[in-house]
Every structure is written in structure tokens, then in C-alpha cells.
A and B are shown apart, each in its own frame.
Chain A
């Protein structure tokens, strides 16, 4: 194969990876509305821990997830600051049943549940503090 072909492939790969990286960076960790029609409700029994009185933050993690520890720290701080908000961390490998039900494709995935356990907001990728706080505001107001 000529070096010209190699250079062309190189250019295509770097352009595609850059586009993917930019789109991913813009979307990563954004809190989204749960899909209409795919209403999901989780109970304390599902989670293995009681729900928070106001809201519950459910974080799906794996051992091979670079951003999970940082997200756990952030959500732990947010939950500690707010009475009635609990953080529940789920090991995705051990709870593939929940992974399927909640359609988790990446880690960390964060679900924001209202006091009845309904999934109100969710993010794939590490959310920012302001995104988490905004989602909690919305859930407590409902």
C-alpha cells in the first residue's frame, strides 16, 4: 500500500475522531428528560437501599470507569448538603437486570428519581454540579 493511501486513512481517522470527540464533549453528562413512554419507576427493593424522602441519585458504575470516582464524589457532596436526597451507587456488572431495565449503555449513568422513585432526569457521562442541582430543583418542585 502506498504511503499516500496511509496518509489519507490517517486524515480520515483523525477528522472522524475529532468530530466524535467534540460531539461527545458537548453532550457528555447533560441531564436529559426520560423518554416519554419509557416511564421507569424504581423502588427501594430494586435498589437494595431505601429511596430518599425528596429525591434519589442513582449512579451506575463499573470498576473500569475512569470518571465514576469523580462523579461519586460530586453526587456524595450534593446529597450530603441536602436533607432528603440520597445517593445510591449501583455496580453495573452485578446488577445487569437494572442496567437493562434502565437501558444503561455507559458509565457513569446517573438517574435522578423523584420521591416516588420515578426517573425524572438522566445523564450518560459525568454530569456537572450545576446540572445535578438543576435536576434536583426540578424534582423537588414536582
Chain B
């Protein structure tokens, strides 16, 4: 039962790290300006990466066009599924936060944006994928409920 061997996309691990840095900046701006529109825009970026794949995310595009040509080739490639799953987790928070901001429930917007920001920041600075860590806990609790 080899895991992760079933013909999935393999990507340059520096791409998601770069994307997390941009995400951190955008979410920080959304938090400071209480902007539901900016959070919604970040939500669209999350959705593109989660649903279509990271290469269809605008940040992935910027990485390939602007950043990677300046770096050397990657020393190794990684499975696309963990960072893609993390984009889906980010999307869930962005949706909740956007609804909060736009409906006037400001603190819902702030809380959701703050949590998504913490996750993006941990990924950008420490290379730590919080969304991936949450996966097993989600599976465990789902199995307990069913």
C-alpha cells in the first residue's frame, strides 16, 4: 500500500511557500481594512488552487513566470495533494469570513480571517502546513460520528 504513488501531480515545493507569502500579505490587508471584498478575492484564489490544481492559481502563475526563472531548479518535487488540500481548508475559512464581513457580523469575519492568516503565515515562515495536520484529526472525528 504505497501512499502517494498513484499518478498525482508533483510540484516544486517552493511554489506553495511563495503562494503562502502572498496569501499572508493579502489576508493581513483584509484584516486591517475589514475588507470582505479582498477576502472574497483571496477566496477565489483558494478555490482555483483547490478545485483546478495549484498551477491554475494566480499565485502559482506568478511563481512560474516571475520567481522560478530566478531560482535554480528544485532539488526535489513534492506531491501536490497536501498543499491543494490546505487550499480547500483556506477556502472554507475565506467563505465564512466573507459572509461575516458582508453580513455585518464583523467579528465572524475577523476571527475567520485571523485563523486563515495564522495558517498562511506558519506555512510561509516555518514551512508548516496546518491544513495538512488538521486532516487526520478531521478523519478521526468523522469516523467517530458515523
Contacts and interface: CB of A to CB of B under 8 A. Distances in A.
Interface of A: 1, 3, 6-7, 9-10, 13-14, 16-18, 20-21, 24-25, 61-66, 68-69, 72, 89, 91-94, 96, 99-100, 104-107
Contacts of A69: 3-4, 78-79
Contact of B82 (A25, A65, A91): A65
Contacts of B118: 13, 16-17, 20
Contacts of A89: 1-3
Given A9-B110, A16-B118, A91-B3, A63 B81 contact: yes
Contacts of B117: 10, 13-14, 17
A68 B4 contact: yes
A27 to B, nearest CB: 12
Nearest to B109: A1
Contacts of A17: 117-118, 121-122, 125
Secondary structure class of chain A's binding surface, majority of residues = helix
9 contacts: A6-B33, A7-B32, A10-B117, A14-B117, A17-B117, A18-B121, A65-B132, A65-B135, A66-B82
A105 B141 CA distance: 11
A65 B129 CA distance: 8
A29 B143 CA distance: 26
A10 B31 contact: yes
A99 B3 contact: no
Contacts of B83: 66
Contacts of B95: none
Contacts of A25: 126, 128
